[in-house]
Structure 1
Amino acid sequence: MSDDILVACKLPHGMYLDVGKQRIKLNGVMQSGRIEAPFFMAPSNSVGLTKVPRDFWEAWIKDHQEFEPVKKGLIFASDKKKRLLDEADEKSELKSGLERIDPSRLPKTLEQVKAGQI
């Protein structure tokens, strides 16, 4: 059994996990390597993956079960990469609320202003 576990994070820039004096940075969607032009947006099933020591993860998750990103399913873990990617596919419609706005699909209440238009 491996001493490490993979943690997936659907937050754009990841976050820091602290246990005692130890700190680990979780990669976010922007570090997934799946950012696409022209608007630098990631596919909806993208996640940042970070290898974390199993005992660190177990200590952190024990203390953060009620943390909103954990409760919503934006941060999850597995010892199998394929299982994590399958779960990311299942959660592709799950939004953090921090996603970039696609300028080609602006809400009807907004209009795009071109440079020099004002």
Structure 2
Amino acid sequence: MADTVTVLCRLPSGIRLDLHDLSSLSERTQATAPVMAPPQARSSILLNGIRQDPLYHPVENRLLGRAGRTTVPTDFWKAWLEQNRQSDLITRKIIFAETTPARADNAMAELAKDRTGLEGADNTTLTEGVTPMQKTD
């Protein structure tokens, strides 16, 4: 089995994945006094977003069919996935992993028309009842 996987992130700017020690988080919830300090991650990885995709161009700002790719250690990915299996990031395929870069390219080809909701409105079509603004001189 490979030591790394290619994680694809379909968020525009990427995201930081934090791996937490679940026993310490459980202790925090059981404390009699509230713990005000934020939980400290055991390890973290910053995923590249769509804007780091080689095909992304800021002028057209086209997000559909694009994803940032980050090489992540397999053990980190499996542990993070186990802690976040029910997250919308996973269930909606906003973040997912493939074993090789070629498989990652194939996965993105399959998802090329699958909208995430982050792409923005299509500026070539108008919503029903909306008309273009008339210029006055």
What TM-score bracket applies, with the shorter chain setting the length?
Answer: 0.7 to 0.9
Deviation at 1:67, TM superposition (A): 0.4
Q: How far does the alpha carbon of each residue in 1:9-64 deviate from its partner, in whole angstroms, 9 at most, with x for none? A: 1111111100132111111111112223643224x321110011111101000111
Residue 17 and residue 109 in structure 1: after superposition, are their counterparts in 2 closer, same or farther (change >3 A)? farther
Tell me: higher relative CO, structure 1 or 2? Use CA pairs within 8 A at least 6 residues apart: 2
1:32 aligns with 2:56: no
**Paired letter, 2:78:** E
Structural RMSD (CA): 2.3
Larger Rg: 2
Partner-residue secondary structure (3-state), 2:116: coil
Give the direction of change, closer, same or farther, for the CA distance of 1:100–1:39 in structure 2 (3 Å limit). Answer: farther
The match for 1:73 among 93, 99, 106 is 93
Q: TM-score, normalised by structure 2?
A: 0.71
Any residues of structure 2 matched to 1:24-103 within 5 Å, and which? 24-36=45-57, 38-42=59-63, 44-103=64-123
1:41 alignment partner AA = R
User: Aligned to 2:124, what secondary structure does the other structure show?
Assistant: helix
**TM-score relative to the length of structure 1:** 0.81
Instruction: State how many pairs are aligned.
Output: 115
Amino acid at match of 2:84: H
**1:12 corresponds to which letter in structure 2?**
P
- Could you list the runs of 5+ residues in structure 1 that have no partner in the other structure? none
Asked if residue 104 in structure 1 is aligned to residue 104 in structure 2, the reply is no
Secondary structure in 1 aligned to 2:46?
strand
Give runs of aligned pairs for residues 6-17 of structure 1, distance below 5 A. Answer: 6-17=6-17
